[in-house]
Amino acid sequence: MERKSLEVELSMTTIGIIGAGEVGSQIARAAISQGYSIVIANSRGPETLKNLVAELGPSAHAATAADAAAAGDFAIVAVPLRVVNNMPVEELAGKIVLDTNNYMVWRDGHIPILDSGEKTVHELRQEHLPASKVAKAFTHIQAPRLLIAGRPAGAPGRLALSVSSNFPEAVELVTRLYDQFGFDTVDNSPLSESWRTSPGQPAWNRWAHQNREELTRNLGRARRRRW
């Protein structure tokens, strides 16, 4: 695509970001640097995000989670998973939703259906958001590295990130976003396979210090384990 038309397209694309912590705020910075607009939310209300939005500049707005979801052409959920859904289902319906969640028992408590291996974390998120197209994304890169570890396509040593989804169009969107942020993609779909990048697995332990071949190899080295 021509540079000019890509810029026009991006300037018209809004990402709704739910979660304004480490991951949500760094994705917001990376997205704005690539020409996106963002609407960002936390749990305490938009008035608590004044400083962040001022720092992010005119392409950023703060809102409630429901309004951020409604405003986005697609959405990013950067909020730890709860066993009872706490995301705005209706406003996210029909949209691609990138979920950055890692299940951390020490932080989230035990969720039996995940502990038993009956479902993956992101299959559960997909169940919570039945009319959305969920993709697991950005789960094995430390948030601050999003802004410093990217390289142009084809550059030696370009690193790779994985994506999992049950929807090819969601994989395509994440692949494009990763590329814009400076990363290659390894498709680890569907969501039932997404345990391969969960905490403790080789691909997760290496975080974003692996190229496409290394990440592919590490996904193959994963061994299912119960919590």
Ligand X SMILES: NC(=O)c1ccc[n+]([C@@H]2O[C@H](COP(=O)([O-])OP(=O)(O)OC[C@H]3O[C@@H](n4cnc5c(N)ncnc54)[C@H](OP(=O)(O)O)[C@@H]3O)[C@@H](O)[C@H]2O)c1
Residue 180 engages ligand X in binding (rule: CB under 6 A) = no
Ramachandran bin of 207, using left for φ above 0, alpha for ψ from -120 to 50, beta for the remaining angles: left
Residue 104 engages ligand X in binding (rule: CB under 6 A) = yes
Nearer to ligand X, 1 or 101 (CB): 101
Residue 46 engages ligand X in binding (rule: CB under 6 A) = no
Residue 167 Cβ, how far from ligand X at the closest point, in Å? Answer: 21
- Tell me how many residues contact ligand X (CB under 6 A): 24
34, burial (CB in 10 Å: exposed 0-12, middle 13-18, buried 19+) = middle
Q: Is 130 helix (H, G, I), strand (E, B) or coil?
A: coil
Residue 42 engages ligand X in binding (rule: CB under 6 A) = yes
Residue 43 engages ligand X in binding (rule: CB under 6 A) = yes
Structure tokens at 78: 């950067």
Residue 65 engages ligand X in binding (rule: CB under 6 A) = yes
Taking CB atoms, the residue at the shortest distance from ligand X is 21
Residue 86 engages ligand X in binding (rule: CB under 6 A) = yes
Residue 140 Cβ, how far from ligand X at the closest point, in Å? Answer: 7
Greatest Cα-to-Cα distance within the chain, rounded to the nearest angstrom: 50
Q: What contacts 177, CB < 8 A, 6 or more positions away?
A: 31, 98, 137
Pick the piece of the chain touching ligand X (CB under 6 A) from 29-37, 100-108, 152-160, 208-216. 100-108
Candidate residues 142, 151, 168, 169; the one interacting with ligand X per rule CB under 6 A: 142
Nearer to ligand X, 2 or 47 (CB): 47
Cβ–Cβ < 8 Å for 69, 18: yes
Residue 11 engages ligand X in binding (rule: CB under 6 A) = no
Find tokens 């142009």 and name the residue.
152
Candidate residues 14, 16, 17, 23; the one interacting with ligand X per rule CB under 6 A: 23
Look up residue 199 and give its DSSP letter: T
User: Which amino acid is located at 56 in the chain?
Assistant: L
Ramachandran bin of 163, using left for φ above 0, alpha for ψ from -120 to 50, beta for the remaining angles: beta
Q: What contacts 39, CB < 8 A, 6 or more positions away?
A: 14, 15, 16, 17, 60, 61, 62, 63, 67, 68, 71, 72
Q: Distance between CA 197 and CA 138 in Å, rounded?
A: 10
Nearer to ligand X, 63 or 173 (CB): 63
Residue 103 Cβ, how far from ligand X at the closest point, in Å? Answer: 7
Residue 19 engages ligand X in binding (rule: CB under 6 A) = yes
Footprint on this chain of ligand X (rule: CB under 6 A): 18-24, 41-44, 65, 78-80, 86, 100-102, 104, 138-139, 142-143
